[in-house]
Amino acid sequence: MATDIKAIPVPALKRLPSYLRFLKKLAGTGRDVVSCTHIAQDLRLDSTQVRKDLELTGITGRPRIGYIVSELITAIEEFLGWNNCRDAFLVGAGSLGAALIGYTGFRDYGLNIVAAFDADTRKVGALVHDVEVLPVSKLPELAERMHIHVGIITVPADAAQEAADLLVSGGILAIWNFAPAHITAPEGVIVENVHLSSSLAVLTARLTETQRVEK
Amino acid sequence: MATDIKAIPVPALKRLPSYLRFLKKLAGTGRDVVSCTHIAQDLRLDSTQVRKDLELTGITGRPRIGYIVSELITAIEEFLGWNNCRDAFLVGAGSLGAALIGYTGFRDYGLNIVAAFDADTRKVGALVHDVEVLPVSKLPELAERMHIHVGIITVPADAAQEAADLLVSGGILAIWNFAPAHITAPEGVIVENVHLSSSLAVLTARLTETQRVEK
DNA sequence: TAGATTGTTAATCGATTAACAATC
DNA sequence: TAGATTGTTAATCGATTAACAATC
């Protein structure tokens, strides 16, 4: 097999967006060259780690000088696939769904939510931040016709698997799941979970720990 | 030092909530005993990993039998500090803030958002899901008086550090940051970030990768 | 009893960090 | 040139997985 390239480490992938943010801020100030040390200092990371992470994107720097800021921004964006926008469907037009639709920052991440779907007929037809809410029954056909590859799930936990199945039946290739539920999808379909409970667990466990120690 | 206990591994901590979800579902069906194999199967994990994770909570099972579901639920909840509710303040009453306030599920995670704050005077005075929006200037004094230890940041990126400083000045001990920005806080203050861009980076990088391979 | 499962120790794997030569 | 920084290899650290004895 020719595809014997090493898998991209997830922790590295998760750090790239913060580099991008920093670099864009830097570009705004007119700086056109940056070193790993500089990035690492701002983000409180190890400079070797930053260098290895940047290496993933295929960029090369110059000893003594560093990296060209604009080149680096382009390299990261291309590596993440953020350089050209992807259209996405969202299932579950509740308050979280509305918040995601309303967040304009996703454009920077190459994501564009073009339609929302809801099982609740009372929500169908409404406009959420200029995005129309459609009945879930229309999803599979529309996804196929519009060549949508990304689906976002913002339904309650007990409807999450159903929403996932719906997206899969429409030929979606990647699911961004915000529902507090474990969902399964066929081999080949990417599932990325945003489990707020996991994040909160880290926070509360640490807090409980420090408060236990202090007493 | 007596506090030479091994640090709790973050990945393990992040898995605990999913166990809890599964166990509660199980308890609902009337089952009162469960094995690691059973949990691992449902969540597509390694059973040894599940056992090690549960070990963290201090629970002991019985060979051949497994763990008592109700005991396990209590053990995880106590370990995470989810058994008694914490009051929290939220800064930034935009659509994401509103979504978090409106999400009743946080009660299960021991979190109760009692007040929202915003710098925008036009938002002040409004009610968001029965929670009053107050001016940010009132935050430090109120946080101190009400013994609030947890602060949630849902402001735009450029106001995030300011919001963090405000919370810190009110004596907050832990910050749950939803703003797409790197924030710094004094030693001892816990900062847990929900960086949607990191999560999306994993999704889009994988998607770009598979699409690259297919062509 | 036999066998499933826990508890625990050892082996493996992968990510982070350290070391250092190459270079502009 | 001298020295800062990249690129790369090696060492360390921590998490996952495997192995196996203890036990109900």
Q: Could you read off the pLDDT of B27-45 as tens digits, one per residue?
A: 999 999 999 999 999 999 9
Is B24 at the interface with chain A, CB within 8 A?
A: no
A142/chain B closest Cα distance in angstroms: 20
- pLDDT at residue A204 above 50? yes
- pLDDT at residue A3 above 60? no
- pLDDT at residue A123 above 60? yes
Considering only residues 139 to 168 of chain B, which have any Cβ-Cβ distance to chain A shorter than 8 Å?
Answer: 149-150, 157
Highest mean pLDDT among A89-93, A207-211, B6-10: A89-93
Name the pLDDT band for B184 (thresholds 50, 70, 90): very high
Contact assignment for A205 to B3 by CB distance below 8 Å: no
- Tell me the two tokens of residue B155: 């402001």
Name the pLDDT band for A191 (thresholds 50, 70, 90): very high
Considering only residues 102 to 131 of chain A, which have any Cβ-Cβ distance to chain B shorter than 8 Å?
Answer: 102-103, 105-106, 109-111
Name the residue with higher pLDDT: B3 or A148. A148
> Any atom of strand D under 7 A from CB of B46?
yes
Q: Could you read off the pLDDT of B88-142 as tens digits, one per residue?
A: 999 999 999 999 999 999 999 999 999 999 999 999 999 999 999 999 999 999 9
* Closest residue in B to A101 (Cα–Cα): B95
Q: Could you read off the pLDDT of B47-67 as tens digits, one per residue?
A: 999 999 999 999 999 999 999
- pLDDT at residue A37 above 80? yes
- pLDDT at residue B79 above 90? yes
Write b or e for each residue in A205-214: b if 16 or more Cβ atoms lie within 10 A of its Cβ, otherwise e.
bbbbbeeeee
Calpha distance A212→A214 (Å, rounded) = 6
Which residues from chain A sit within 8 angstroms of residue B10, using beta carbons? 202
| % chain A with pLDDT above 90 | 93
**A40 CA, D3 C1': separation in Å?**
20
Best residue of B15, B78, B202, B213 to probe chain A, by most A CBs closer than 10 Å:
B202
Closest CB to B173 among A44, A176, A207: A207
Is A83 at the interface with chain B, CB within 8 A?
A: no
> Any atom of strand D under 7 A from CB of A62?
yes
Cα distances (angstroms) measured from residue B13 to each of B80, B100, B150:
8, 22, 19
DSSP-assigned letter for residue A46: -
Q: At what angle do helices B10-28 and B69-80 cross, to 10 degrees?
A: 140
Name the pLDDT band for A159 (thresholds 50, 70, 90): very high
**B118 CA, C16 C1': separation in Å?**
40
Please state the rounded mean pLDDT for residues A149-162. Answer: 98
pLDDT of residue A214: 66
pLDDT of residue B214: 66
B35/chain A closest Cα distance in angstroms: 19
Name the pLDDT band for A5 (thresholds 50, 70, 90): low
Q: What phi-psi label fits residue A64: left (phi over 0), alpha (psi between -120 and 50 degrees) or beta?
A: left
Q: The pTM is what? A: 0.95
